[in-house]
Homo-oligomer: A and B are copies of this chain.
């Protein structure tokens, strides 16, 4: 069972490179997509947060590319929250081929909380607890 959120993406032509595969940079946008979709589905619109002066820049990124992806392939981005602290939150991602379920990439990103002035700040309590709840998602069907 993969807890968390699932976002489907299809490899765009513009995301391929001359090796005939999705460029490794494109995955970074997909992880972000998985993360922001997960947050929005849980009432944490990132657009809304920024309007309140909460920025969440990525401070660390780790990706393992297990196999290449071709143009038009459909992939599911499985996203979960693995750790929430007072000023930072860690997300995990698993990209799996939609048709066969094979894992094609795994990744982790760490985001820290920053105010509009660029200074670190604590995650507001409501956001922190909403994210913390996502680390232990209720079993499906509960």
Interface residues of A (CB under 8 A from B): 12-14, 16-21, 23-25, 28-29, 32-33, 36, 40, 45-47, 50, 55, 57-66, 68, 70-72, 118
Contacts and interface: CB of A to CB of B under 8 A. Distances in A.
Given A17-B16, A50-B18, A72 B59 contact: no
Given A16-B18, A47-B71, 10 more contacts: A13-B17, A13-B32, A17-B18, A19-B55, A24-B28, A25-B29, A46-B71, A57-B68, A58-B65, A68-B118
A60 B13 CA distance: 18
Contact of A65 (B17, B50, B57): B57
A37 to B, nearest CB: 9
Nearest to A47: B72
B57 A24 contact: yes
Contacts of A24: 28, 57-58, 61
Given A28-B28, A32-B14, A71-B47, A21 B63 contact: no
A23 B29 CA distance: 10
Given A17-B18, A65-B60, A28 B25 contact: yes
